[in-house]
Amino acid sequence: MARPPSLNPEKARRAAAHPDRPGEDCRAEPGRTRIVVDRGRCEGKGDCVEVCPYGVFEVGRIADEDFARLGVLGKLKSLAHRRRTALLVKLDACRACGMCVVACPEKALSLR
Ligand code: SF4
Ligand code: SF4
């Protein structure tokens, strides 16, 4: 199926053409696939926001319980990035295109 436009079409085009892109090329039923964010890796810079065609992500403040689960290095990294992280605000809209996984510079995203 045709994907809706991303916020950054050029970055999305590169992600779509990436040879390591996982997923089902938007053929998954919405909500069947879960995106998982590694909070210890995410730096909240928002490449995932720019490429996701379905608005799954926003960048915002890491939840206190997620912050508390980070190790010492993870906490320092999170603080260095003002506790910004990728929030899954429309997780059920994910159709497993896999573009966010290959667009993330920190390798913080995986599809389950
Ligand atoms: S998940 Fe990756 S692309 Fe998204 S904000 Fe975090 S580091 Fe950036
Ligand atoms: S895999 Fe899901 S969350 Fe990631 S860009 Fe595609 S639709 Fe968005």
| Reported pTM | 0.92
CA-nearest residue, atom 5 of ligand 2: 52
In which band, very low, low, confident or very high, does the pLDDT at 80 lie, cut at 50, 70 and 90?
Answer: very high
Contact 102, 20 (CB under 8 A): yes
CATH number for region 9-111: 3.30.70.20
Instruction: Report domain extents, the chain.
Output: 9-111
Which pLDDT belongs to residue 44?
A: 96
d(CA 72, CA 79) in angstroms, rounded, equals: 11
With a pLDDT cut of 90, the percent of the chain lying above it is: 85
Atom 2 of ligand 1, nearest CA residue: 104
Residue 96 has pLDDT above 70, yes or no: yes
